[in-house]
């Protein structure tokens, strides 16, 4: 968490990717560890396929304003999501994009964000786990791998609370996959 004990995360993408559920799971894990959390979401009227946004503020102390105003991290899973909800990025924001469905936009560089991490999230999920389910959990693994905002075992418990039993094994593998992607990226050191 930042110096003010406040971590702000915005996730955006397309309805049906599970980003809102992912934000709820991460919020639950943070609460289980005694942190104070606010979670909010926006989704288009068409829901599945429409642009969605999920936001979390996690803190060790009272949260005076519940919305993300100065994101520490922005995770964009679609170009439309980035266009619609990418505002407010500052030089402290770490931006994550899914390079399997989008390319790094021209407006993101070292002048207006801390770093840009382009990972092939969707394509790696499909090739490694042979499923399109679990994209949101892969993203949680990436967030966890980059921030260690909650304990991994706490995150696993929160996932188990919110995922149907028949999909639990897949989602645990998806979490591990996200963390592995961060480890692999750290070894190559490729960041814009």
Check: CB of residue 137 under 8 Å from CB of residue 121: no
| Residue 192, domain member (yes or no) | no
| Residue 22, domain member (yes or no) | yes
Check: CB of residue 52 under 8 Å from CB of residue 15: yes
Structural domain total, the chain: 1
| Residue 17, domain member (yes or no) | yes
Closest CA to 11 of 85, 103, 83: 85
| Residue 1, domain member (yes or no) | no
Tokens 């030089």 sit on residue: 91
The domain that contains 114 carries what CATH number?
A: 3.40.920.10
| Residue 74, domain member (yes or no) | yes
Question: What does the pLDDT look like over 140-180, one tens digit per residue?
Answer: 999 999 999 999 999 999 999 999 999 999 999 999 999 99
| Residue 82, domain member (yes or no) | yes
- Residue 106's domain comprises 6-187
Closest CA to 68 of 106, 45, 41, 31: 41
Question: What does the pLDDT look like over 26-80, one tens digit per residue?
Answer: 999 999 999 999 999 887 655 566 888 999 999 999 999 999 999 999 999 998 8
| Residue 75, domain member (yes or no) | yes
Question: What does the pLDDT look like over 102-127, one tens digit per residue?
Answer: 877 766 666 778 888 889 999 999 99
Closest CA to 17 of 136, 109, 140, 108: 136
**The predicted structure's pLDDT at residue 25:** 97
């Amino acid at each position: 968490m930042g110096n003010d004990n406040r971590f702000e995360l915005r996730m955006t993408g397309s309805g049906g990717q599970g980003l809102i559920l992912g934000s709820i799971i991460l919020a639950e894990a943070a609460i289980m560890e005694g942190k104070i959390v606010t979670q909010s979401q926006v989704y288009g009227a068409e829901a599945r396929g429409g642009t969605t946004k999920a936001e979390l503020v996690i803190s060790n102390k009272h949260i005076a304003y519940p919305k993300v105003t100065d994101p520490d991290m922005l995770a964009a899973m679609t170009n439309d999501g980035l266009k619609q909800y990418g505002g407010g990025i500052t030089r402290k924001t770490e931006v994550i994009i899914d390079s399997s469905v989008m390319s790094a936009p021209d407006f993101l560089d070292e002048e207006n964000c801390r770093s840009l991490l382009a990972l092939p999230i969707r394509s790696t999920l499909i090739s490694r786990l042979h499923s399109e389910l679990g994209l949101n959990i892969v993203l949680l693994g990436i967030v966890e791998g980059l921030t260690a905002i909650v304990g991994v075992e706490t995150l696993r418990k929160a996932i188990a609370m919110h995922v149907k039993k028949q999909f639990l094994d897949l989602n645990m593998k998806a979490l591990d996959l996200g963390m592995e992607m961060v480890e692999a990226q750290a070894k190559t050191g490729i960041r814009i």
